[in-house]
Structure 1
Amino acid sequence: MSVRAPDRHRTAALRITGGAACTSVSAGFAKLSGASPGTTAFLRCAIALTVLVPLSIREWRRLGPRPWRLMRFDLAAGVLLGIDYVFWVASIEDVGASISTVLLTIQVVVFPLLTWLFLGSVPSRRFLALIPVMLIGVTMAAGVIGQAEPGTDPVGGIVFGTIAGIAYAGYLFFMRQGGGQGHVVFPVCASTTAACAAAVVVGSLWTGIDLDLDLAAWLWLIALALVGQVLAWLLIAGALSQLAPQVSASLLLLHPVLAVVFGVIALHERPTITQLAGCLLVVVSVWAVSRTPRRERVSAAGA
Structure 2
Amino acid sequence: MSQLGPVAASSVVTPSMEGMTARARPLTGTPSPAPEPSYAMAALILGCLFVGSSSALIKLSGATAGTAAFLRCALALVVFAPLLAVEWRRFGLPPRRMLVLSAGGGVFLGADYLMWTQSIVDIGAGIATVLIGVQVVVFPFLAWLFQKEPVPTRFLVVLPLMFVGLALTGGVVDADAAASNPVRGALLGVAAGVCYAAFLFLNRPASALDRRMLFTPVGTTTCVAALGIGAVAGLGDVAGGIDLALSARAWVLLTMVAVLGQAVSFVLIGYGLVRLPAGRAAAVMLLQPLGAVALGMVALHERPTPAQWAGIVITVVAVALATVTRRRPRRRGR
TM-score greater than 0.5 by the shorter chain: yes
Selected match of 2:307 from 274, 277, 299: 274
Amino acid at match of 1:223: M
- Pairwise CA RMSD: 3.0
Selected match of 1:110 from 120, 138, 141: 138
Which structure has more helix as a fraction of its residues? 1
1:223 maps to what in 2?
256
1:7 maps to what in 2?
34
In structure 2, the CA distance between the partners of 1:168 and 1:130, relative to structure 1 (3 Å rule), is same
1:124 shift after superposition: 1.6
The correspondence of residues 190-229 of structure 1 with structure 2, limited to 5 A, is: 190-204=220-234, 205=236, 206=238, 207-229=240-262
1:286 maps to what in 2?
319
1:147 shift after superposition: 1.9
1:10 shift after superposition: 11
> Quick check: 1:49–1:193 contact (8 Å CA) kept in 2?
yes
| 2: CA distance, partners of 1:297 / 1:245 | 11
| 1: CA distance, partners of 2:66 / 2:248 | 18
| 2: CA distance, partners of 1:198 / 1:243 | 35
1:188 maps to what in 2?
218
| 2: CA distance, partners of 1:107 / 1:162 | 8
Structure 1 vs Structure 2: percent identity of aligned residues?
39
- Of 14-23 and 163-172, more deviation after overlay is shown by 14-23
Q: Secondary structure in 1 aligned to 2:150?
A: coil
Amino acid at match of 2:288: H
Q: Secondary structure in 1 aligned to 2:149?
A: coil
2:265 maps to what in 1?
232
In structure 2, the CA distance between the partners of 1:240 and 1:170, relative to structure 1 (3 Å rule), is farther
In structure 2, the CA distance between the partners of 1:194 and 1:272, relative to structure 1 (3 Å rule), is same
Structure 1 length as normaliser, TM-score?
A: 0.87
In structure 2, the CA distance between the partners of 1:100 and 1:119, relative to structure 1 (3 Å rule), is same
Unaligned 5+ segments in structure 1 are: none
> Quick check: 2:35–2:276 contact (8 Å CA) kept in 1?
no
| 1:261 paired to 2:261 | no
1:243 shift after superposition: 11
In structure 2, the CA distance between the partners of 1:232 and 1:239, relative to structure 1 (3 Å rule), is same
1:297 shift after superposition: 2.3
2:191 maps to what in 1?
163
Q: Count how many residue pairs are aligned between Structure 1 and Structure 2.
A: 297
Q: Secondary structure in 1 aligned to 2:227?
A: helix
> Quick check: 1:250–1:286 contact (8 Å CA) kept in 2?
no
1:48 maps to what in 2?
76
Amino acid at match of 1:201: A
| 2: CA distance, partners of 1:75 / 1:251 | 30
Structure 2 length as normaliser, TM-score?
A: 0.80
Selected match of 2:92 from 48, 60, 64: 64
| 1:27 paired to 2:87 | no
| 1: CA distance, partners of 2:308 / 2:254 | 28
> Quick check: 2:233–2:241 contact (8 Å CA) kept in 1?
yes
2:106 maps to what in 1?
78
In structure 2, the CA distance between the partners of 1:167 and 1:21, relative to structure 1 (3 Å rule), is same
1:278 shift after superposition: 0.6
> Quick check: 1:104–1:162 contact (8 Å CA) kept in 2?
yes
> Quick check: 1:31–1:97 contact (8 Å CA) kept in 2?
yes
> Quick check: 1:115–1:173 contact (8 Å CA) kept in 2?
yes
